[in-house]
Amino acid sequence: MILLTGATGFVGSHLVEVLRAQGRAVRALVRAPGAALPPGVESSVVADLADAHDLRRVLAGVEGVIHLAGRAHVMRDTTADPEAEFHRANALATRHLAEQAAAAGVRRFVFLSSVKVNGERSGDRPFTEADPPAPEDAYGRSKRAAEQALREVAAASSLEVVVIRPPLVYGPGVKANFLRLLRLVDRGVPLPLASVKNRRSLVSLWNLCDLIATCASHPAAAGETFLVSDQRDLSTPELVRRIAGAMGRRALLFPVPVPALALAARLLGQGDAVERLVGSLQADSAKATRLLGWTPRVSVGDGLRRTVEWYLASDGDQTADRSGR
């Protein structure tokens, strides 16, 4: 039996299907009754993991935990103390769940962390698992603290911890910046990105969930941290062109010097958002291939095509003018 947190979220809803297709029994930990889950998936209600001090019933019969739930990166955080909120939801809740999992005799604990633990910019070479952590925001620091808590629990018990750090995850149901980019390309909005010469790692929902499922049982994964990607990094202009091509459109890109673009963004209070478009952030997932024999099942081209197909078939942008296709 696998206990899965975050089962109704972007990654979790797809992972449930992957695990079920592999014949694994799944118990979903949900915050409220009535969560939409596939037939055959058990559910247990725990409103707040950070306050959950007795999970013996939830963990009964569980051999592995996959912990996806947490407070996601927030673009415009309006909470009074974001650092405390992230720490409580991501670090404290993870420690509570891991401690009780260890006490219940759970063998494996897979934690979905973030490449932001490594940092925001990879520089002239991709990040690896051997690089010293350098998180720069409250979200990244909370994920780093959660990883440290898991290592402490594992050192004091027989719990096998596996940490996975993905970069930007895309696929059907994607939201936030990637969905905004889909909408901009679909609307035919010219983008000042032709001069950008960066490299960004991405990971599709299919490849991420495949690695998570692999780490839930592979003997060599125990005690390890893995970076993950589609293993085909793209520049931002190349990403836009691939999205446009999948939509049957021509990418509308025009050149603006990157320093001028960055300065304008800072003046408009959008410096962080533009940094994600012009900066490089690469993740080397060779360790997963070397230790686990894992390779991406879906190419970045197929992943983007499937994501665009979902977008065009959904209500992702009712106002988009698609007459130009």
Is 251 within a domain? no
- The single residue listed with the structure tokens 């078939």 is 313
Q: Among candidates 178, 46, 162, which has minimal Cα distance to 112?
A: 162
Is 263 within a domain? no
Give the HSE-up count for residue 63: Cα atoms under 13 Å, Cβ half-sphere: 6
Structure tokens at 223: 């005690």
Rounded Cα gap, residues 152 and 128, in angstroms? 22
Is 288 within a domain? no
CB 6 within 8 A of CB 46: no
Strands (E), 152-251: 160-165, 168-170, 202-204, 225-227
Could you tell me the residue range of the domain that residue 118 belongs to? Answer: 2-165
Q: Among candidates 58, 17, 62, which has minimal Cα distance to 37?
A: 17
Is 59 within a domain? yes
Is 304 within a domain? no
Catalytic residue among 139, 178, 294, 311: 139
pLDDT, one tens digit for every residue, the chain (325 residues)? 999 999 999 999 999 999 999 999 999 998 888 788 888 888 888 888 888 778 999 999 999 999 999 888 665 566 778 889 999 999 999 999 999 999 999 999 999 999 999 999 998 899 999 999 999 999 999 999 999 999 999 999 999 999 999 999 999 999 988 999 999 999 999 999 999 999 999 999 999 999 999 999 999 999 999 999 999 999 999 999 999 999 999 999 999 888 888 777 676 666 566 777 788 999 999 999 999 999 999 999 999 999 999 999 985 444 444 444 4
∠ CA 152-158-161, nearest 5°, is 60
Number of domains comprising the chain = 1
In terms of Cβ atoms closer than 10 Å to its own Cβ (0-12, 13-18, 19+), residue 53 is exposed
Based on the residue annotation, tell me whether 170 is a catalytic residue of this protein: no
pLDDT of residue 325: 42
CB 206 within 8 A of CB 266: no
Is 75 within a domain? yes
Is 93 within a domain? yes
| Pairing state between β 42-45 and 26-30 | parallel
Note the pLDDT tens digit of each residue in 142-175. 999 999 999 999 999 999 999 999 999 999 999 9
Is 189 within a domain? no
- The CATH number of the domain holding residue 35 is 3.40.50.720
